[in-house]
Structure 1
Amino acid sequence: MTPSPFVISIQSQVVFGHVGNSAALFPMQAAGLQVAAIPTVIYSNTPDYPTLRGRALPPDFFADLLQGARERDLLTRADYIVTGYIGSLEVAEMVADFVAEAKAVNPTLTYLCDPVLGDSGPGLYVPQPIAEVMRKRLLPMADIATPNPFELGWLTGRQIATVQDVEAARRDLDIRDDAHLIATGCILDTTQPGQIESIICGPHTDSAPSRHPTAHLPCALPGTGDLFSGLIVAGLARGQSLGEAVETAQSLTSRALAHAQALGAGEVVLSEADFRQALLSLGRTP
């Protein structure tokens, strides 16, 4: 029997709600993937509530978890590594070392770097030294990078207003020549009214970026990007092309957002029946 695709997912975790691994873990598992979830921070909830408990993992504790992953031989077993929000500089450096080690011992794995730095409303919401680790160490190792327009603009010093701006940012970004950039949540000068787009820029300069529009729902909820990245990995692991995986991720993320909006929830909700059924169907893809 062929083993299920294996993912190491290194990002935040919350007790209540769905952000970081608390958003990405369930969809990947429901699609039939094995996931080793390593938290970078553990909080009681997202920062949008009046109180926030918990903290970034102490460096020695986080290092111990990584060592346990090594002892279980997860680096060579992994088909994918995903990284997201990181809450301390020491942990960021250890994540970069771990990804570099994994890529060295297992060069066939795919690394998706979601550089969770900030957004157009709050701006940069990690300390700049952490953002610099993402810029200088994590992104150069990525096979797939999924910044939003604010993050892409911060990383490259460019205003992201056109498809040409995304192409230029792909060239300016310090990622490998064969890596793919997915600029998520874009509203560009030629985006149709009522829509939002993901723009995929591939490694070949002679190929035009592919545009993937979807309905723009009037809500911005914590966990959306984490869910989206997890769904991209689920699609890829189930044999979809990158474009197909982005389309699947957009469709299912929109479904989760619409359900949350109907419930009046303040963050992504993953319990809607059709959403869960779609994940199970994805897991049955040969």
Structure 2
Amino acid sequence: MTPPPFVISIQSQVVFGHVGNSAALFPMQAAGLDVAAIPTVIFSNTPDYPTLRGRALPPEFFSDLLQGARERGLPERADFILTGYIGSLDVALMVADFVAEAKAVNPRLTYVCDPVMGDAGPGLYVPEAIADVMRDRLLPMADIATPNPFELSWLTGQTITTMKDLEAARTFLRIAHGAHLIATGCALEDTPAGHIESVILGDDGPSRHPVEHLPIALPGTGDLFAGLVVAGLARGQTLPRAVEIAQRLTARALAHASALGAGEVVLSEPEFRRALLTLDY
């Protein structure tokens, strides 16, 4: 029997709500993937609530978890590594070392870097030193990167309004030969009215994937999207098809959350859960 695709997912975890691994883990597992979830921070909830408990994992604790992953041979087994929010510089440096080691021992590994740093509303919400590690160490190793326009602007120091801006950003970030940049949530000068789009840029040229713009901004949206892209790829979809599936299912989760009056993405809507079983939506 062929084992399921195996993913190491290194990002935040919350007790209540759906961000980081708490948003990406369930969709990947429901799609039939085996996932090892390694937390970078453990919080009670997102910072959007009146109180926030928990903290970034102490460096020695996080290092111990990574060592345990090595001892179980997880880097050699993994089909994908997905990284997201990182809450301390020490942890960011250890993540970069771990990804580099994993790619060295497992050349078939696909590394998906979601450089979770900020957004247009809140601005940059990690220390600049962590953003520097993402730009200088993690993104150059990525096979797929999924920044939003704010993150691209901060990383490159240029405004993102046109396809030429996106292409220049990909060059600036030293995305590896053969790797793909997925610029998410773009509203470019020529994006169709009432839409936003994900733009895939690779050595084979760009592809654009517009979707209706829902006036809903909730924590966990990007984390869910990145997890769904990994799930689609692991289930054999092409990258453009995986992106389109991720867009549609993310939009469905957002719409359901809005209908419930929830403050972040919701993963319990029946059709959303059914679609994950086949990723045919």
TM range, normalised to the smaller chain?
Answer: over 0.9
1:282 offset after TM fit, Å? 2.5
Q: For structure 2, which runs of at least 5 residues remain unmatched after alignment?
A: none
Q: 1:270 — aligned with what?
A: 267
Q: 1:7 — aligned with what?
A: 7
Task: Check the 8 A contact 2:245/2:279 in 1, yes or no.
Answer: no
Residues paired across the two proteins, number: 281
Partners of 2:50 and 2:90 in 1: CA distance: 28
Q: 1:26 — aligned with what?
A: 26
Which secondary structure state, in structure 1, belongs to the residue aligned with residue 188 of structure 2?
coil
1:167 offset after TM fit, Å? 1.1
Q: What are the superposed Cα offsets for residues 176-235 of structure 1, whole Å, 9 maximum, x if unpaired?
A: 12110000000111111211100000124xx3x111011111110000000000000000
Task: Check the 8 A contact 2:113/2:138 in 1, yes or no.
Answer: yes
Partners of 1:129 and 1:203 in 2: CA distance: 30
Q: CA RMSD in A?
A: 1.1
Partners of 1:218 and 1:173 in 2: CA distance: 30
Q: 2:53 — aligned with what?
A: 53
Which secondary structure state, in structure 1, belongs to the residue aligned with residue 111 of structure 2?
strand
Q: 1:247 — aligned with what?
A: 244
Partners of 1:193 and 1:282 in 2: CA distance: 28
Q: 1:89 — aligned with what?
A: 89
Which secondary structure state, in structure 2, belongs to the residue aligned with residue 183 of structure 1?
strand
Q: Residue type of the partner of 2:116?
A: V
Partners of 1:281 and 1:88 in 2: CA distance: 37
Q: For structure 1, which runs of at least 5 residues remain unmatched after alignment?
A: none
Task: Check the 8 A contact 2:180/2:200 in 1, yes or no.
Answer: yes
Q: 1:223 — aligned with what?
A: 220
Which secondary structure state, in structure 2, belongs to the residue aligned with residue 12 of structure 1?
strand
After TM superposition, the structure 1 = structure 2 runs for residues 1-286 of structure 1, keeping only pairs within 5 Å, are: 1-204=1-204, 207=205, 209-282=206-279
The list of structure 1 runs, each at least 4 consecutive aligned residues, that deviate by more than 6 angstroms after superposition, is none
Which stretch shifts more, 27-36 or 192-201?
A: 192-201
Q: What are the superposed Cα offsets for residues 69-117 of structure 1, whole Å, 9 maximum, x if unpaired?
A: 0111000000000000000000000000000000000011000000011
Partners of 1:91 and 1:186 in 2: CA distance: 30
Q: Residue type of the partner of 2:164?
A: Q
Q: TM-score, normalised by structure 1?
A: 0.97
Q: State the percentage of identical aligned residues.
A: 78
